[in-house]
A and B are shown apart, each in its own frame.
Chain A
Amino acid sequence: MPKITREDIQIITKHSNWPENSVAKALKNHVYTGKKAWHRFISLFLLVLGVSFTVLGIIFFFAYNWDKLHKFIKIGILEGLVIIGVLGVLVAQRKPLIQRIILTATTMLVGVLYAVFGQVYQTGANAYDFFLGWTLFVTVWAIVSNFPPLWVIYIALVNITVVLYAEQVANDWSEMYVFALLFTINVLFLVLFLWLPKFLPLKVSPVWFTNVLALTAIAFSTIGIIKGIGRGQDVFFNVLLIMTPVVYGLGIWYGLVMKRGFYLAIVPFSIIIIISAFLLNESDDAGMLLTIGVFIVTAVTFLIRFLNQIQKKWAS
């Protein structure tokens, strides 16, 4: 017999005289988390909480005592912590998850180290230099650990570096170029994480991680196209306009083949938003606003209907 779910218990309770203590017992036996899962959750949760508070404590320690510390002590403490972190990773050989969590914390400490270094020596470097240095020096750790939360930090650093470089150094880069570049970078990462495990002996990335990457990529393409509409000719806007349908098409194909409803939801929703922005650019009078409202309701309704039908098809 398949697992009893909360929905089963709700439906039967609604149409029966099932007593309160029996309902509670059914929930406890079939729905609520068991002892083993609680144990795992608590050990992981407390570990992550402990590591996070330690890193934050270190950051605030430096912030609060900045004036009173000698520069050798400031940099020495941080370098010492980075070394202790790496030694901790080497020591915890039998516990891969703890190794990865310590490495992620050490990655954050590398950032703090470079921030402190920049403050102490007042190098006059742009903010992007800080993020670029941080990104480069944790690349090997990100690749070796292959730990999704660390990859999230790494990819965020890459994106921030690109944005700050465009703002502070590459003043000749158009806004469209930056959006096209960010879209490309995130799509490349997404493709790598989806496809590399098929060819190399790598662990398959968790669904939440690839979904976050896909959402980030789509956000850049959507915002980029919306900003580009009506702004005049920019060759990189045309590049984005060509790349986006291709990537979206691949996303829909992937969603259908791998039965991932997430891609079938976010790609069409992005298209709906882009078309609405296009319509708004054409005119912002009452008739057009009504048209946009009706278009969004109709399009989202059809999208939901399609997703519902495809879900049922996959379930059967």
Chain B
Amino acid sequence: MGELENNMRLLQKIRSEENDDFKVDEDAVFTEYQKRRDNKANLAIKILSIFGGLLSSLGFLGFLMILGIYNSTTGMFVVGLGFIIGAIMMTNRFEKLIIDTFGVSCYILGFSLFVVALFSFDFREDDVLLMVIVLALITLFLVKNYVLSFISMLTVGVCFILLIISNDVYEVIHVYTVLYAVGLTFFVLEEGSLMAFAPRMLQLYDPLRIGFIFSFLFGLLALGKEGLIPVYNGTLWISSLVIILLTLYMIRSVLLDFGETQKKGNIGFFF
């Protein structure tokens, strides 16, 4: 009862601060609170879901391979897509924490079979990676599950890096890193706008943000770890320049939020 009272007081507080045009569906709000309370997943639970799903999908994949699914390319393609669709439908339909592990397992297994099938169809590596990116993006916008959204985001990032490597266009890693840095900055600074713009997509906000962070880190790892991607040493600074500018822009935003006003265009601000 205490939590319900707190929720009601919060709504009243917001109503008092807004004008009469402010409309809220109270029943939907309380139902959403209840649903989130029933499925509250801390970091340990999310990590358990991911690792549990990963390990079990290895077991299922081994089972299918021994049974000979590898001999049937069409079988792998159909079963793979079936598992992906099944994972999305199951997690969307039930929206329960306990379904997460099974959903992740089906999703990873489905993707693995789908990719192996595409290679068996003799598609070029680039075409396979592009198809995986498209499928991951479609999944991202269809699924309402935190863990599956996060895995989809990571899949997109990793596939972009693999595309860069397979086409030997190693300097494009700077474009990758810069785009993800800009994307992450926009995501963080415009959180309010994004929430108000697409409220139905709010469940994507947290996994997208953490997915952006990890994908950005993968890009930095590719640049920083010698031998991973053979980038010309003379151009290593390119993406750093943009990241420095973004950092300065964010510092400015933070300082302006704290009322540290300066004359427009005064770059002494940063010193």
A: residues with CB less than 8 A from B are 1-2, 4, 7-28, 32, 35, 38, 261-262, 265-266, 269, 272-273, 276, 284-287, 289-290, 292-294, 296-297, 299-301, 303-305, 307-308, 311-312
On whether the beta carbons of B24 and A16 are closer than 8 Å, the reply is yes
Known: A16-B25, A17-B21, A304-B101. A289 touches B195 (CB 8 A): no
Whether A265 pairs with B199 at a CB distance below 8 angstroms is no
Q: A17-B23, A304-B49 are in contact. Are A296 and B55 (CB under 8 A)?
A: yes
Determine if B98 and A297 form an interchain contact, defined as CB atoms under 8 angstroms apart.
Answer: no
A121–B205 alpha-carbon span in the complex (Å): 58
Q: Contacts A293-B56, A297-B56, A297-B102 given: A12-B24 contact, CB under 8 Å? A: yes
Kindly state the separation between the CA atoms of A230 and B45 in the bound complex, as whole angstroms.
31
CA distance A27 to B23 in the complex (A): 19
In this complex, the member of A12, A24, A35 whose beta carbon has the largest number of chain B beta carbons within 10 angstroms is A12
Contact between A13 and B202 (Cβ–Cβ < 8 Å)?
Answer: yes
SS of B interface (majority): helix
- A289 engages B49 (CB within 8 Å): no
* Contact call B10/A1, Cβ cutoff below 8 A: yes
User: Which residues on the B side are within 8 Å of A22 (C-beta)?
Assistant: 14, 17-18
Whether, in the assembled complex, B32 has its beta carbon less than 8 Å from a beta carbon of chain A, the answer is: yes
Q: Is the CB of A38 within 8 A of B254?
A: yes
Across the interface, do B48 and A304 meet the contact criterion of CB distance under 8 Å? yes
Provide the bound-state CA to CA distance between A297 and B22, in Å. 45
Known: A286-B66, A286-B67, A304-B97. A11 touches B33 (CB 8 A): yes
Rounded to whole Å, the gap between the CB of A250 and the closest CB of chain B is 19
- Are the CB atoms of B9 and A304 closer together than 8 Å? no
The interface residues of chain A lying within 8 Å CB-to-CB of B225 are none
Q: Which residue of B lies closest to A264 (CB)?
A: B44
Contact string against A for B residues 155-197, beta-carbon threshold 8 Å, 1 for contact and 0 otherwise: 0000000000000000000000000000000000001110111
Verify if B37 is at the interface (C-beta below 8 Å from A).
yes
Q: Which of A20, A27, A262, A276 makes the CB contact (< 8 A) with B55? A: A276
Contacts of A21 in B (CB 8 A): 192
B105 at the interface (CB under 8 A from A): yes
